[in-house]
């Protein structure tokens, strides 16, 4: 299939299936958050809600782009970990896939709204850190700059969801005070009785938005996971985008070389001088090579991964140099470097259409199955009172806005944490902190704090075990 032995081909297919399984589990684990409010306010029947949400998750994956997916791929510098031994690549992929799926299923079984984003990112970090202790490890096994950016988004998003929902609830309260509407939007829905049509429409729209933006953000995590599998195991076929026109790159690489050459190397430390020299040589070399190509397919399979490594190294070297105080470039030159690097990275930052379709189907169908456990926690166990219309609409509106903005910036966020924190914020806005159920909040917080260290240790241990067996 990909010039692999039959055994490795089967393992590759198993890994791809496991990546789809992760996204399938993500569907009923995370998207339950999107349907909880419409179900508990009687806006939609459960079967209607999950089918509708699944459909919009499916569409959201196509609209999300690949910014978040590449954030996942670039978190683990696969160029550092991949070598000639395919079994080593399978060890990396197998460890993070098994860990991510196991933790997602475990927290789902106990009905704990745990973040699939934290699970996947923790698994990737665990594999990277485990690799760094191996004798043959070279370079950084984790892109710490990207890890810091992702960590910031995962930490900030639930705080944003909690606080903004409180503000929105207060605004609704003020706007409806002493009006007939106040009694409607802040009262507990009657059992099995749908809300007034205008409220139903609002909740229907917010559910749709959360589902769509969940697909656009979380779907990309599955895309990124599959690209890690493909680049790690069959880099000769997926290290570069074969549909990209290589004639677009020489001018960008030449501009990069010219700007980098203007940096005064005499003020740099010895490692930075070497970094600068290597970058100039690689940029010039890549520009000359691409100028002779009519198609990416003209690059020999054995060299495609090396070309990817050089492009990624140029990118990382430049970003590292730009952070140095000694490097004095004009704002115009800095902007030029960033713009041209973005153009060059288009050949490495991509995803085949079939990968997006595969993840869309996995997430969409996953949404329609197994949602009850998480829905019950979100709808009944976070607060001591039944969700009101105002609480459901506020939490979902803030969640959709947060996830949509994060996708636009290429940040992976947790739908679970954003919406759960929004529900908690709506409960606090109604009757204060005493309106939260301590046991549920405690379980969610424990899962939140435990997820990263537990999955990092598990993924790292599995990676070292698989690696030792395959060596």
Summarised one tens digit per residue, pLDDT across range 39-72 is: 777 788 878 888 888 889 889 888 888 888 888 8
Which tokens go with 413? 């966020």
Q: Tell me: do 324 and 431 sit in the same domain.
A: no
Average pLDDT over all residues of the chain: 83
- Nearest by Cα to 326 from 272, 271, 257: 272
Alpha helices in 368-437 (DSSP H): 372-376, 389-409, 415-431
- Nearest by Cα to 422 from 57, 216, 157, 42: 157
DSSP 436: B
- Give the pLDDT score at 92: 84
- Give the pLDDT score at 211: 87
- Helices and strands (H, E) in the chain, number of each type: 20, 0
Q: Tell me: do 311 and 430 sit in the same domain.
A: no
- Reported as a single tens digit per residue, the pLDDT across 193-225 is 778 888 888 888 988 988 898 888 888 888 988
Between 427 and 271, the more confident residue is 271
**Any domain includes 231:** yes
DSSP 65: -
Between 377 and 221, the more confident residue is 221
User: Distance between CA atoms of 320 and 456, rounded to whole angstroms?
Assistant: 26
CB 140 within 8 A of CB 79: no
- Give the pLDDT score at 283: 93
- Reported as a single tens digit per residue, the pLDDT across 143-159 is 777 778 878 887 888 88
What b/e string do you get for 378-387 counting C-beta neighbours within 10 Å, with b at 16 or more? bbbbbbeeeb
Q: Which of 329, 347, 365 is at the close of a domain?
A: 347
Q: What is the CA radius of gyration of the chain?
A: 24
User: Between the ranges 77-86, 112-121, 235-244, 441-450, where is the mean pLDDT highest?
Assistant: 235-244
- Give the pLDDT score at 381: 46
Helix, strand, coil in percent for the chain, rounding step 5: 80, 0, 20
Q: What is the pTM of this model?
A: 0.83
Q: Which domain holds residue 290?
A: 240-347
Average the pLDDT over 281-285 and give the result. Answer: 93
Q: Tell me: do 13 and 129 sit in the same domain.
A: yes
Between 444 and 340, the more confident residue is 340
- Give the pLDDT score at 378: 53
Q: Which of 320, 347, 374 is at the close of a domain?
A: 347
Sorted by sequence, the CB contacts under 8 Å of residue 429 that are 6+ apart come out as 165, 166, 169, 170, 173, 391, 394
Q: Tell me: do 305 and 216 sit in the same domain.
A: no
Q: Tell me: do 386 and 331 sit in the same domain.
A: no
DSSP 85: -
Between 325 and 354, the more confident residue is 354
Q: What percentage of the chain reaches a pLDDT higher than 90?
A: 22
- Give the pLDDT score at 343: 94
Average the pLDDT over 256-268 and give the result. Answer: 89
Q: How many domains does the chain have?
A: 2
Between 89 and 78, the more confident residue is 89
- Give the pLDDT score at 429: 80
- Nearest by Cα to 226 from 22, 431, 364, 28: 22
Angle formed at CA 197 by CA 191 and CA 203, multiple of 5 degrees? 75
Q: What percentage of the chain reaches a pLDDT higher than 70?
A: 87
User: Distance between CA atoms of 105 and 119, rounded to whole angstroms?
Assistant: 11
Q: Tell me: do 376 and 231 sit in the same domain.
A: yes
- Give the pLDDT score at 288: 93
Q: Tell me: do 462 and 321 sit in the same domain.
A: no
- Reported as a single tens digit per residue, the pLDDT across 2-16 is 666 787 788 889 889
Q: Tell me: do 24 and 160 sit in the same domain.
A: yes
pLDDT grade for 191, boundaries at 50, 70 and 90: confident
**Any domain includes 169:** yes
Q: How many CB atoms lie within 10 A of CB 331?
A: 7
User: Distance between CA atoms of 239 and 232, rounded to whole angstroms?
Assistant: 9
- Give the pLDDT score at 28: 72
**Any domain includes 419:** yes
Give whole-number Cα distances, 169 to 83, 141, 414, 422, in Å: 54, 44, 22, 10
- Give the pLDDT score at 383: 46
**Any domain includes 1:** no
Q: Tell me: do 217 and 71 sit in the same domain.
A: yes
Q: Tell me: do 141 and 41 sit in the same domain.
A: yes
- Give the pLDDT score at 84: 57
Residue 176 pLDDT greater than 90, yes or no: no
Between 419 and 235, the more confident residue is 235
**Any domain includes 188:** yes
User: Distance between CA atoms of 378 and 381, rounded to whole angstroms?
Assistant: 6
Residue 238 pLDDT greater than 60, yes or no: yes
What b/e string do you get for 304-319 counting C-beta neighbours within 10 Å, with b at 16 or more? bbebbbbbbbbbbbbe
- Give the pLDDT score at 341: 93
- Give the pLDDT score at 461: 94
- Reported as a single tens digit per residue, the pLDDT across 390-430 is 887 888 888 888 888 888 888 888 777 787 788 788 878 87
Phi, psi (deg, nearest 5) at residue 385: -120, 160
Q: Tell me: do 159 and 26 sit in the same domain.
A: yes
Q: Tell me: do 134 and 198 sit in the same domain.
A: yes
Residue 434 pLDDT greater than 70, yes or no: no
**Any domain includes 191:** yes
- Give the pLDDT score at 370: 59
Average the pLDDT over 371-393 and give the result. Answer: 61
Q: Which of 307, 328, 347 is at the close of a domain?
A: 347
End-to-end CA distance of the chain: 24
- Give the pLDDT score at 457: 93
């Amino acid at each position: 299939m990909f010039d692999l032995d039959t055994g490795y081909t089967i393992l590759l297919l198993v890994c791809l299936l496991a990546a789809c399984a992760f996204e399938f589990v993500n569907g009923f684990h995370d998207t339950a958050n999107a349907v909880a409010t419409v179900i508990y306010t009687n806006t939609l029947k459960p079967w209607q809600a999950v089918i509708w949400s699944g459909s919009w998750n499916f569409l959201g994956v196509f609209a999300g782009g690949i910014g978040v997916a590449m954030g996942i791929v670039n978190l683990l510098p696969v160029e550092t970990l991949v070598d000639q031994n395919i079994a080593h690549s399978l060890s990396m992929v197998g460890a993070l896939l098994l860990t991510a799926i196991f933790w997602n299923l475990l927290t789902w079984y106990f009905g704990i709204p745990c973040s699939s984003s934290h699970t996947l990112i923790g698994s990737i970090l665990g594999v990277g850190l485990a690799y760094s202790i191996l004798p043959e490890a070279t370079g950084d096994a984790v892109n710490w700059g990207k890890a810091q950016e992702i960590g910031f988004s995962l930490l900030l998003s639930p705080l944003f969801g909690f606080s903004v929902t409180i503000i929105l609830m207060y605004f609704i309260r003020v706007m409806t005070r002493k009006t007939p509407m106040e009694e409607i939007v802040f009262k507990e829905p009657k059992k099995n009785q749908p809300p007034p049509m205008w409220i139903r429409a609002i909740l229907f729209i917010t559910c749709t938005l959360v589902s769509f933006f969940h697909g656009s953000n979380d779907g990309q995590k599955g895309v990124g996971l599959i690209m890690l599998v493909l680049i790690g195991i069959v880099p000769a076929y997926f290290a570069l985008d074969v549909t990209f026109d290589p004639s677009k790159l020489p001018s960008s690489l030449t501009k990069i070389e010219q700007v980098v050459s203007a940096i005064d190397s005499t003020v740099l430390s010895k490692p930075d001088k070497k970094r600068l020299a290597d970058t100039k040589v690689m940029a010039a070399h890549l520009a000359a090579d691409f100028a002779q190509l009519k198609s990416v397919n003209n690059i020999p399979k054995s060299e495609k991964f090396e070309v990817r490594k050089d492009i990624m190294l140029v990118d990382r070297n430049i970003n590292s140099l730009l952070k140095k105080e000694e490097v004095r470039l004009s704002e115009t030159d800095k902007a030029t470097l960033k713009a041209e690097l973005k153009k060059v990275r288009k050949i490495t930052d991509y995803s085949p259409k079939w990968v997006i379709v595969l993840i869309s189907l996995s997430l969409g169908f996953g949404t329609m199955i197994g949602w009850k456990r998480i829905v019950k926690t979100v709808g009944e166990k976070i607060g001591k009172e039944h969700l009101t219309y105002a609480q459901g609409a506020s939490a979902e509106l803030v969640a959709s806005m947060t996830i949509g903005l994060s996708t636009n910036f290429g940040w992976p966020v947790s739908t679970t944490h954003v919406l759960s924190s929004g529900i908690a914020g709506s409960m606090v806005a109604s009757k204060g902190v005493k309106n939260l159920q301590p046991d549920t909040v405690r379980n969610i917080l424990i899962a939140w704090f435990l997820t990263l260290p537990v999955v990092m240790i598990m993924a790292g241990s599995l990676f070292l075990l698989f690696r030792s067996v395959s060596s």
